């Protein structure tokens, strides 16, 4: 089973908490024990798992990525979004989460974030559930 989450971003760099969307997909799947794969099919967007309780964590992550990989630098890619490609490669395009008792086995403070690095845009996230 594959489901798609639509994400609309509003700024160039933005982390969007998609945890509730993924939880809903897992819940609707009825999967008691298995794996949840989350995949972002874009070259300038990513997905990560990190703290969801304190918004300062996301702010620190975005500001640090932007500081180390600024939009304007001595890049050769003609589209002007090389920084977004670099950030995407560093953060990654997929995550895997264990499902047990029809629940994502995230830690207490963990959340799933769609990471936009070249917005604003309309994006997709694919979620595949495998299990029993």
113-132 pLDDT per residue, tens: 999 999 999 999 999 999 99
Contact 123, 114 (CB under 8 A): yes
Question: Which fold would CATH assign to domain 2-131?
Answer: Jelly Rolls (2.60.120)
What pLDDT digit, counting tens, does each position of 25-47 carry?
999 999 999 999 999 999 999 99
Give yes or no for a contact between 112 and 18, defined as CB atoms under 8 angstroms apart: yes
What are the tens digits of pLDDT across the range 87-99? 999 999 999 999 9
Of 49, 61, 62, give the one whose Cα is nearest residue 19: 49
* Local structure of 42: helix, strand or coil: coil
Query: Does 1 score more than 90 pLDDT?
Result: no
Q: Which regions of the chain does DSSP assign to beta strands (E)?
A: 2-8, 14-17, 33-39, 45-51, 94-100, 103-104, 110-116, 122-131
């Amino acid at each position: 089973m594959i489901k798609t989450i639509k994400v609309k971003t509003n700024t160039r760099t933005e982390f969007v908490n998609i945890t509730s969307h993924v939880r809903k997909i897992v819940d609707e799947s009825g999967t008691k024990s298995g794996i949840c794969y989350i995949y972002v099919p874009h070259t300038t967007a990513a997905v990560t798992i990190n703290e969801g309780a304190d918004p300062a964590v996301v702010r620190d992550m975005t500001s640090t990525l932007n500081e180390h990989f600024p939009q304007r630098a001595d890049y050769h890619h003609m589209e002007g979004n090389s920084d977004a490609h670099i950030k995407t490669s560093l953060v990654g395009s997929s995550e895997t989460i264990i499902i047990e008792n029809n629940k994502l086995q995230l830690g207490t403070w963990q959340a799933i974030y769609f990471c936009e690095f070249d917005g604003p845009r309309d994006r997709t996230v694919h979620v595949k559930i495998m299990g029993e």
